[in-house]
Amino acid sequence: MRSPLRVFAALGTLAIVLAACGANVIPGDSVPASPGGSGDKIIIGASLTLTGIQAPFDEPGLRGAQLAVDELNKKGGILGKQVELVNLDGKSDPVIVGNNAIQLIENGAVAIIAPCDFDFGSPASREAQKAGLVGISTCASSPLYNSTNLGDKQFTLSMWNTTMGSSAAEFSFKEKGWKTAYVVTDTFIDYTTSLSRYFIDSFKNAGGTVFAEDTYTQGAQDFSAQLQRIQALPAQPDVFFVSSYQPDLGTIIRTMRSAGITAPIFGGDSYDDPQLVETLADLGTEVYFITHSWAAPDAGPAMKAFLDVWQAKHGAAPDTAFVVTGWDTVNILAQAMEKAQSTDGAAVAKAMEDLTFDLLTGKLDWSDAASGHEPNKETVVVQITQGSTKFLGWYLPEYLPKP
Amino acid sequence: MGSLLTGVAILIRGHRQLLILIVPIAIFAVVTQLVGGTLLGRIAIAFFINLMVVLSLQIFTGNSGLLSFAHVGFMGIGAYVSAVLTMTPEAKAFAIPDLYPALVPVTLPFIPAVLIGGLVAAVVAAVVTFPIMRLREAASVISTFALLVIIQVILAHWHELTNGPRSLFGLQPYTDLPTAALWGVIFIVVAWVFRHSSIGLRLRASQDSEPAALTIGVNVVRLRWIAFIVSAFIAGFAGGLWAHFVTTFSPRAFYLIETFVAVTMLIVGGPRTVSGAVIGTVIVTAAFQGLRTIENQINLERLLPFQVVGVTEILLAVVLIVVLTVRPGGLIEEREIFSGPGGPLGPDADSAAKAPP
């Protein structure tokens, strides 16, 4: 019995000692700031995920948010108070994300930044809503991320996928003059399936004709059956909307091009992938996609200023465009708190509804809580041209399909 | 009533260790409920739900000796079934637009819905697992893993029931600490009784020597099957509680990560004993929360010049390796905790079935 007892005792002691350390999370600030912000600084809480499957989307956002806070503090902070950003790792677990939000709120956070995904982000928003605080996801693009589901103080920075589909449709029809479309939908995940639906709805709404919708399943690595159906069409469409993602997306486009199909191909933000651009390097220029932001100086003066700040801080350009989501999120909160002249959740939420924001991810105007805080947001149109990408401009669709 | 009390009294007298397991956990639950606050309350609820999943694994794996990766899949079945049953027709119209019309108006109270979720998981287990029960060792483990994959794919594609890979939302947060704690304790007793029942005893005998068990007339396949059905019920029940705790989830929640958490808890504690399942869950939960706090503290106070990320996961993995190396059978290996020589069923009750090494 000696050996098991010893191991058990050692592990048990370890566990208890570790757990006992859990008392004070936010250093030097045991006095919680009241919701009105009577403390000497403003704490913005974040439950972004730094480990697990969600980390690639959240971790860059956190870096952008931290830089935004540093810059705000150089300029005097929010409402004359210094800002502190406190992030607790959400570990790609919805329960921990929610627990973090509770802990942050108990420690005086006046707003909560939630992960870039509905499943992982909504627990943080729900806790923020319960505490009467604003919660905002850095880039959850699901139309489920709305104030009807989560509460009247909850927002997402991202355009919904409805906007993405509509932007692709209206840009094709109105700017490019493509009147007929053929849709290929990867049915493996919801994102690609619903994006096709929004595209078809918007394209028809604009006055275009959709010849047909064909399906594909991620992982099949064989596009020949779909290709035959395309080749059997009486007339070729003006544009193909291919809603899929890497790695199979590259295969699909290569198969189509090698079969002599030259019509332009359009897609959503899953095309915003350096690997895809490389894959298509020898295949001409007729591939377009809609995405969230364009991290290069030609996107506008604000982006240029951001890139300069980033360069000064890190000595290199951002490695991923997701960093701008965190920067935008913090700046939205700062502007809204300044407008409201308060950190009170209801007042900040009202200011967020009232203001129109000019962001690195485009102009953004949320609808009111009754209509779901639908983000009316500019999108970026990008063209893939022989191994590189070209910024075609910001585009704001007129019509938004129902989620 | 009198005979019931007598029965309970006999159970208590014969199984003092059961009380040693239950009482501290019950006290923890009561204290947390009274003075714990929201955060500790949520950690406690998550603990009890994990405990149920680990107990369900213990009932099958601990008695039959066959590791199962499929149980979290049955947790998913219980979660979806109970969710469909408790949601209001309005919530269903939004969250599961393609739901079968017959199911739309059905709105059941919380616990009945969760019980039905467990029953459906048990029925599915009964239908699909019988052939698997004939397998042993690697073939058995791989086939349960395959079963997990199958359940995952079905959950992600059965649009009419689960809304496919999209998130299910609009559940009410019914699961509170008293409910989770009460059922957690109930399932400790169930696992305990199962282990000491004649089914449990015969299964454990088959684990130690299958040919020997067969020669004395033990129907190994059927007993494993029964154990799997019971454990699938508990896993499904735990899934129902979990669903009404997080209130938003998609099929990916019932896959590899949750499976490995449950298996780790069981292996650290010791799969062959109920005490092992309980103590493994306690230790892994405590270590996880403690490590997470330390990691946050290091980052927030900037004790190191860089951000520390993932220390929790790495140290937990190290703990697993250490336990597997030092005590391959888990912390509570063969005999239930605190079982002295004068145990309930004679001196060697817990190792009665054990073959000589």
Domain residue limits, chain A: 33-159+300-372, 162-291+381-395
Is the pLDDT reported for residue B44 higher than 50? yes
Q: Amino acid letter at B205?
A: A
Residue A133, pLDDT score: 97
Is the pLDDT reported for residue B348 higher than 60? no
- Structural domain includes residue B186: yes
pLDDT in tens, B10-27: 666 667 888 888 999 999
- Structural domain includes residue B312: no
Partner residue opposite B166 with nearest CB, options A51, A103, A190:
A190
pLDDT in tens, A62-86: 999 999 999 999 999 999 999 999 9
Q: Token match 């953004």: residue?
A: A364
pLDDT in tens, B179-224: 999 999 999 999 999 999 999 999 999 998 999 999 998 999 999 9
Average pLDDT over residues A254-269: 93
Residue B14, pLDDT score: 65
Q: Report the C-alpha gap between B227 and B209 in whole angstroms.
A: 18
- Residue A384 sits at φ, ψ, to 5 deg, of -95, 120
Residue A351, pLDDT score: 96
Within 284-343 of B, beta carbons closer than 8 Å to A belong to 286-287, 289-297, 299-301, 307, 309-310, 312-313, 319, 323, 326-327, 331-333
**Distances from the Cα of A134 to the Cαs of A57, A330, B145, in angstroms?**
21, 12, 42
Edge to edge, the sheet with strand A375-377 lists A357-359, A362-366, A375-377
- Structural domain includes residue B232: yes
Domain A33-159+300-372 sits in CATH at 3.40.50.2300
- Structural domain includes residue B309: no
pTM comes to 0.82
State the nearest Cα–Cα gap between A219 and chain B, in angstroms.
14
- Structural domain includes residue B120: yes
Assign A81 to helix, strand or coil. Answer: strand
- Residue B67 sits at φ, ψ, to 5 deg, of -75, 140
Is the pLDDT reported for residue A282 higher than 90? no
pLDDT in tens, A26-41: 444 433 444 444 568 9
Check CB contact of B264 with chain A, cutoff 8 Å.
no
Check CB contact of A123 with chain B, cutoff 8 Å.
yes
**Domain around B161:** 15-254
Contacts of A22 in chain B (CB under 8 A): 289-290, 293
Whether A19 and B290 lie within 8 Å, measured CB to CB: yes
* Tally of domains in chain B: 1
Check CB contact of A16 with chain B, cutoff 8 Å.
yes
Mean pLDDT (chain B, rounded): 88
Domain A162-291+381-395 sits in CATH at 3.40.50.2300
Whether B167 and A119 lie within 8 Å, measured CB to CB: yes
Q: Would A33-159+300-372 and A162-291+381-395 be classified into the same CATH topology?
A: yes
Query: Does the ipTM surpass 0.85?
Result: no
- Structural domain includes residue B142: yes
- Residue B156 — left, alpha, or beta (φ > 0 → left; ψ -120 to 50 → alpha)? alpha
* Probe site for chain B from A6, A11, A84 (most B CB atoms < 10 A): A11
- Structural domain includes residue B346: no
Mean pLDDT (chain A, rounded): 88
- Structural domain includes residue B220: yes
Average pLDDT over residues B308-318: 84
Q: Which two tokens stand for residue A383?
A: 């063209």
Is the pLDDT reported for residue B312 higher than 50? yes
Burial string for B68-91 (b: 16+ CB within 10 Å, else e) reads: bbbbbbbbbbbbbbbbbbbbeeeb
**CA atoms lying within 13 Å on the CB side of residue A245:** 14
Is the pLDDT reported for residue B241 higher than 50? yes
Partner residue opposite A27 with nearest CB, options B286, B291, B301:
B301
How sure is the predictor about A132, in pLDDT bands with cuts at 50, 70 and 90? very high
Contacts of B290 in chain A (CB under 8 A): 15-22
Is the pLDDT reported for residue A15 higher than 70? no
